[in-house]
Chains A and B, each alone.
Chain A
Amino acid sequence: MKTPQKIKSFVYSLLLMAIILNPFNSNAQEDKQSLSVTLTYHKIVGGESFLKVTTSFKGKNGWEEAGKVPFEIYNLEGDEILLGKGKTDIHGKTKFIFPKGIIMNENNVALRITNHPTYEDTEESIYFKDVKLTAELTLDDEVKQIKALLVDSQNNPIADEGLIVRVKRLVKGLNVGDGTYYTDEAGEISVLIEEDYNSFDGNLIFEVVLEEHDEYGTVSALMNADFGISGTDLSSFDRRTMWSPTNKTPKFFLIFPNLILLGILIVFMYLIINLVRISKN
């Protein structure tokens, strides 16, 4: 009687051990970490509309990037529809680009993370309205002007809303004039471009941005221009310089050392030939 029981308890403890040591044990809901998701809505006029997704978790050193988290995006407005799937990059960031024609006047979208091995199931939703921003750049007798119009989806002008006008730059844009301009009764702004702007090839991209609006998100309209002051190429990359790689060695350094080496080689060959002549004698 006793022995089988012993075996039984042994087997049980083995099983218990297996459960504890199981690498998939983290599946157990209570061990999962809670995840923080931030969603911001962005729209480029005439271009894509997307959500910027950031996933992070509370780690030892405060909020840490939660990388490579797969998620699903649902439209909650009306019937619930799966809009698409995505996955954050190693830094816990990604852009979810909406399929064309999906964005309505009012939108209610949710991001869901389910059955992740290390993170709890999470849902984060965002509500945003569509807005129409049009901007145009006019050049008239040396007067450069940007005009922009902000209306809602029913074409009612939105007044007294701050629009940022700037030149696109490496990372952050450079403000044109004061930077922020408030729309008038007609939902319009007009900005004179008085300063000169530089760029490598003379091409500039101006943008009018409604930034981080509570209802409309971030909406930007881009304009292309070619009146930038182009610079001369400052790089020595294509030249033969002292700091060039092997294939762009300055000619002097190719010719001079190699001539010396050639001279040495000739002497060397001469000596070897002499040795052969001595031995053949």
Chain B
Amino acid sequence: MNDKSKNSRRSFLDKSLKLGLLGIVGGVVVSKLVDANAQEGEKVKVLTQDGKLVEVDSTAINKVSHGSHAIDYKVREGYQGRKFVMVIDLAKCKNALKCVDSCNKAHHINTPNAWLKVYKMQDSKLSSPYWLPSLCNHCDHPPCVTVCPVDATFKRRDGIVLIDNERCIGCRFCMAACPYSVRVFNWGDPNQPEIDSEHQYTADHGGLPSQVGTVDKCDFCPHQIEKEELPHCVTACPTGVYYFGDIYEDTVSNGDETLKLSKLLKDKAGYRLLEGLGTSPSVYYLPPVDRLVDFHDADFNFEQVKFKASSNTETK
């Protein structure tokens, strides 16, 4: 098992090295991706998940139909050469809650502890109220992972923070440590009759199934990325609030438009939540300027929604 993965990695490295060399030797070249003359049984170059070229037997391609992981993918390590990032444009959020619905559906959340919540916010009395979608920030310095005693929650190479629900002992220290309150706990039975009992659990598809007595949270949808699709909240949003992408590619997409991350953050003054804590989140927010919709005055009571404060806000 181990040998095999080692081998495949080595040959993978060889190939990328060769390709790299080819590129250098070629210098100014016209390169075509796929060898047009490839015949049955011959080697064909194909593109892997992480945007690299690998040579595989051309007959193998026909067998692989949909959604295969990159060759050296490991759940606890994640995608090589990827680092996922999200941008949430607060100006566009109108609390349609389609993101919450689709997230709940996709992750089989049938209890009140949704992973994605939309908060009513107001930073100060005279500033304007706005909606703030909140999900796991997949921090680069994750305080939740730091305090986990059993290595159940972990930080992957691609930036995603996941939970191994078969390892978690339910001490909830990670929940206490998370300053964004994004972690939820399965207090009782997760109530997921729709899940096939024979389904094989993997940590990169949270909620499938959830387990009583363990912690859950937003998983940044690696199962969607694997299918070359955007996370559920991104595709569900009717106003394109969410952008998702890879920080190495400097690109984010909300499905309708694909933008350069650095330019977007520069132009719209992107920021991160509670930056001062040094958690270094992977989720950026664009300030709620020129909002698509406004609150009606009657809906809003500043005392209930202070940002960075903490009164027990009652949603009416």
A contact residues vs B (CB 8 Å cutoff): 44-48, 86, 89, 91, 93-97, 99-100, 136-140, 166-175, 197-201, 203, 205, 222-226, 231, 234-238, 241-246
Contact = CB atoms under 8 A, between A and B. Distances in A.
A231 B32 contact: no
Contacts of B137: none
A226 B23 contact: yes
B20 to A, nearest CB: 7
Contacts of A89: 65-67
Contacts of B84: 170
SS class, residues of chain A in contact with chain B? loop
B34 A245 contact: no
A198 B83 CA distance: 13
B62 interface: yes
Interface in B34-69: 34-36, 39-40, 44, 46-47, 50-53, 61-62, 65-67
B294 interface: no
Interface of B: 16, 20, 23-24, 28-36, 39-40, 44, 46-47, 50-53, 61-62, 65-67, 76-77, 81-84, 140-142, 145-146, 151, 154-159, 225, 227-230, 244-251, 253, 255, 258-260
Contact of A95 (B65, B140, B159, B244): B65
The 7 closest A-B pairs by CB, nearest first: A200-B81, A243-B145, A222-B33, A237-B157, A46-B36, A200-B248, A198-B250
Contacts of B151: 245-246
SS class, residues of chain B in contact with chain A? loop
Contacts of A166: 258
Contacts of A137: 30-31
Contacts of A168: 47, 51
Contact of B253 (A97, A171, A222, A242): A171
Contacts of A167: 251
Contact of A47 (B33, B83, B230, B255): B33
A244 B155 CA distance: 7
A260 to B, nearest CB: 17
A45 B33 CA distance: 9
Nearest to A236: B140
Nearest to B247: A234
Nearest to A50: B65
A234 B251 contact: no
Given A91-B227, A170-B245, A224-B31, 18 more contacts: A46-B32, A47-B44, A48-B61, A100-B39, A136-B32, A170-B249, A171-B230, A171-B253, A174-B259, A174-B260, A197-B249, A199-B51, A199-B249, A200-B81, A200-B82, A205-B51, A235-B157, A244-B155
Contacts of B249: 169-170, 174, 197-200
Contacts of A174: 249, 251, 258-260
A46 B159 contact: no
A166 B249 CA distance: 13
A89 B230 CA distance: 18
Contacts, number: 150
Most chain A beta-carbon contacts within 10 A, residue among B51, B151, B260: B51
Contact of A170 (B31, B52, B77, B253): B253
A266 to B, nearest CB: 26
A100 B44 CA distance: 13
A169 B246 contact: yes
Most chain A beta-carbon contacts within 10 A, residue among B31, B61, B76, B159: B31
Nearest to B145: A243
A125 B169 CA distance: 53
A69 to B, nearest CB: 13
27 contacts: A45-B36, A46-B33, A86-B65, A89-B65, A89-B66, A93-B66, A96-B65, A100-B40, A138-B30, A169-B258, A170-B228, A170-B253, A172-B258, A198-B251, A200-B50, A200-B81, A200-B82, A201-B81, A223-B33, A225-B31, A226-B24, A234-B140, A234-B247, A234-B248, A235-B158, A237-B77, A243-B155
